[in-house]
Amino acid sequence: AQKITQTQPGMFVQEKEAVTLDCTYDTSDQSYGLFWYKQPSSGEMIFLIYQGSYDEQNATEGRYSLNFQKARKSANLVISASQLGDSAMYFCAMRELGPSGGYNKLIFGAGTRLAVHP
């Protein structure tokens, strides 16, 4: 069963504008972690931001913030003041319980390709 859904295969945004990348997830666990990663055209995976299921405040890291709506099971990434260097693939991921009972499996969504236009 699919656990992470990113419904936007591609997104366009004008430089200096804000953009929201959608992510919904499916889990029956009470404790879980949600992550966003950036993959530029060079291919490396860059960790951006994390949100824990018990965190009451939305996570923020510089120009990145995470709009966490637990009841709706959504964890959207908001990038403010977009820059040309933000053009990349963005992946949402969730850490869920492994068979040994520990939180050790990180499952990724299919990704959203963001293009920032000057």
Partner 1 sequence: NAGVTQTPKFRILKIGQSMTLQCAQDMNHNYMYWYRQDPGMGLKLIYYSVGAGITDKGEVPNGYNVSRSTTEDFPLRLELAAPSQTSVYFCASSYPDKASSSYNSPLHFGNGTRLTVT
Binding interface with partner 1 (CB under 8 A): 6, 31-33, 35, 43-45, 47, 50, 52, 91, 95, 98-111
Name which of 3 and 63 has its Cβ closer to partner 1: 3
Contact 104, 33 (CB under 8 A): no
Name which of 77 and 111 has its Cβ closer to partner 1: 111
**CA-based nearest residue to 75, from 64, 83, 86:** 64
State the nearest-atom distance from the C-beta of 20 to partner 1, in Å: 19
Name which of 15 and 29 has its Cβ closer to partner 1: 29
- Number of other residues whose CB lies within 10 A of the CB of residue 105: 12
